Structure 1
């Protein structure tokens, strides 16, 4: 495994090897009087997180706060398992996600429906979080973790309704989960970001509203759930505004050309359309078509396509 990466402002990034892939999903460790972790990924990633804490000479018993930006399993699926090693920690979650961490049966059923036989390898076990260790954070709520460090929570739907983003006063940065996209460090030098339009609560208008809210905070850096930090927020906003309508347009074209096909068939067609426009762009930016980034994009475009088809299907009514 890779060594934890210091990002300055007493923040360290630990690679969690989600889906056994490096630089896909990470946890941020905030070294403060009240030690804080942002994101846990799924349960198979928890050993990487614990090993990262060990490399930082951190005893899990010293962790006070664990924050999940939203309850999708690649961000929060491991939180219950992690808590077993962090007996003094409290979990902070969006009000619309709290009950699903306490009783993950619907999360499990939904993931099993999508991933089938792969579920156990990807996500098992999903451990319930005791209700007395869960705290909801609403719009504008704050958490003081050090004398000069406050975390402020902002409701930020678009990717999911159970999503918040967290502003860190010390770094003037914000932890955005998936709200304003996925950052691909594999595209060296490009600062490359694409929207994450996964099912089943994707809403492009809400996503742009959340982007505007984040933009109004004038942050200096963005900490993504996938994966790492951008110190050029304006370029991030620009890319989401560029790609989001194009992603939706690909879906609309498929609905127009294949109106009577199944969800699965539409999803396959949208996946191909997304891969085509993204690959064309990257090749123009001198990222060859055999580059490792396409291993990440293949999976992400499939998930994005399903969210777009789901959104447009609901819109058609």
Structure 2
């Protein structure tokens, strides 16, 4: 049997896994995943509403019918992960949406999700990058719990509660591929920073629920399974998980320690001081990784994360 030709935005991984570049922001920035087993399917994360045509095109390229999709599983309800859930669901007659219990109400009524993102990004950016959000009917919504197992064909996916980035975050374990689908819990790793076959990774402290101790506990729990791979929304499937996990844990400690020092800065100057701190730490770590590109190029790729992580650290400092 010949292998179907896949669109350029789809990468076939092993064990019936497919990574789909959702097209959000820039190439290789935001991924959704499709799990296929014995003719049954699950989407894990969807990207924004604007990504739905790519998700449906992936099914078509794989010669899979919409009726074969049983699950849509957002890792959490931030719009770059779950903004397309409601629209995608309208095309999949048999699918249920499986969401963390703290996120379920926000998918039923996404008003707060939209307004929260609108306050950060503004109306123009929201329309261009997110395109709106469609509510999920209550009768097609199911809440997860820690340790829940669900079937996808002949395999059982397991879900665990992983707070730290967001309190409405769960991660999904695939025993066949020995992979975690980690959303934002296991940080961000952009392919532009790969060097000599090694990935570079950073934690995300974006608003509004960054909790360093909880995040470290969640990462430690993921590492305890000794996974072969982690599948990040931002971006792609990575090996060498133990090294990356150790880097994340060390960086969280460093960011927390440095943020406490910055907190002594005058309030009107603190946000810029946090931005400068993040830029300084990540540039140093990129140099240690072996990057020799000019600072402007590296900082351009990290600009969004510097801004959002600084906002999240500020909110955390005020809360603590």
What is the TM-score normalised by the length of structure 1?
Answer: 0.93
Provide the residue aligned with 2:270 in structure 1: 266
Matched, 1:15 2:30: no
Provide the residue aligned with 2:131 in structure 1: 124
Matches within 5 A, 1:288-299: 288-289=293-294, 294-299=299-304
For residues 106 and 234 of structure 1, what CA distance do their matches in structure 2 show? Answer: 37
Match of 2:112 among 102, 106, 113: 106
For residues 123 and 114 of structure 1, what CA distance do their matches in structure 2 show? Answer: 13
Provide the residue aligned with 1:163 in structure 2: 169
Question: Do the aligned partners of 1:251 and 1:305 also contact (CA within 8 Å) in 2?
Answer: no
Give the Å deviation of 1:293. 5.3
Matched, 1:301 2:309: no
Provide the residue aligned with 2:285 in structure 1: 281
Provide the residue aligned with 2:251 in structure 1: 243
Q: Which consecutive residues of structure 2, in runs of 5 or more, have no partner in the other structure?
A: 1-6
Question: Do the aligned partners of 2:36 and 2:152 also contact (CA within 8 Å) in 1?
Answer: no
Question: Do the aligned partners of 1:186 and 1:293 also contact (CA within 8 Å) in 2?
Answer: no
Give the Å deviation of 1:296. 3.2
Summarize deviations over 1:187-206 as a string: whole Å, max 9, x none.
Answer: 12331110011111000000
Give the Å deviation of 1:244. 0.9
Summarize deviations over 1:159-197 as a string: whole Å, max 9, x none.
Answer: 000000111111111111101211222212331110011
- How many residues in Structure 1 have an aligned counterpart in Structure 2? 309
For residues 42 and 82 of structure 1, what CA distance do their matches in structure 2 show? Answer: 10
Question: Do the aligned partners of 2:49 and 2:84 also contact (CA within 8 Å) in 1?
Answer: yes
Provide the residue aligned with 2:73 in structure 1: 67
Matched, 1:145 2:152: yes
For residues 11 and 295 of structure 1, what CA distance do their matches in structure 2 show? Answer: 31
Aligned to 1:296, the other structure's residue is in SS state helix
Question: Do the aligned partners of 2:230 and 2:241 also contact (CA within 8 Å) in 1?
Answer: yes
Question: Do the aligned partners of 2:47 and 2:81 also contact (CA within 8 Å) in 1?
Answer: yes
For residues 60 and 276 of structure 1, what CA distance do their matches in structure 2 show? Answer: 47
Matched, 1:30 2:35: yes
Q: Which consecutive residues of structure 1, in runs of 5 or more, have no partner in the other structure?
A: none
Give the Å deviation of 1:292. 5.8
Give the Å deviation of 1:2. 2.6
Aligned to 2:156, the other structure's residue is in SS state strand
Provide the residue aligned with 1:197 in structure 2: 205
Provide the residue aligned with 2:235 in structure 1: 227
Question: Do the aligned partners of 1:15 and 1:49 also contact (CA within 8 Å) in 2?
Answer: no
Question: Do the aligned partners of 1:81 and 1:125 also contact (CA within 8 Å) in 2?
Answer: no
For residues 297 and 56 of structure 1, what CA distance do their matches in structure 2 show? Answer: 34
Give the Å deviation of 1:124. 2.3
For residues 62 and 276 of structure 2, what CA distance do their matches in structure 1 show? Answer: 42
Aligned to 1:44, the other structure's residue is in SS state helix
For residues 57 and 246 of structure 1, what CA distance do their matches in structure 2 show? Answer: 48
For residues 264 and 303 of structure 2, what CA distance do their matches in structure 1 show? Answer: 24
Give the Å deviation of 1:252. 1.7
Aligned to 2:136, the other structure's residue is in SS state coil
Aligned to 1:65, the other structure's residue is in SS state strand
For residues 92 and 183 of structure 1, what CA distance do their matches in structure 2 show? Answer: 25
Give the Å deviation of 1:225. 1.2
When the two chains are superposed, the root-mean-square deviation of aligned CA atoms in Å is 1.6
For residues 145 and 171 of structure 1, what CA distance do their matches in structure 2 show? Answer: 13
For residues 291 and 277 of structure 1, what CA distance do their matches in structure 2 show? Answer: 15
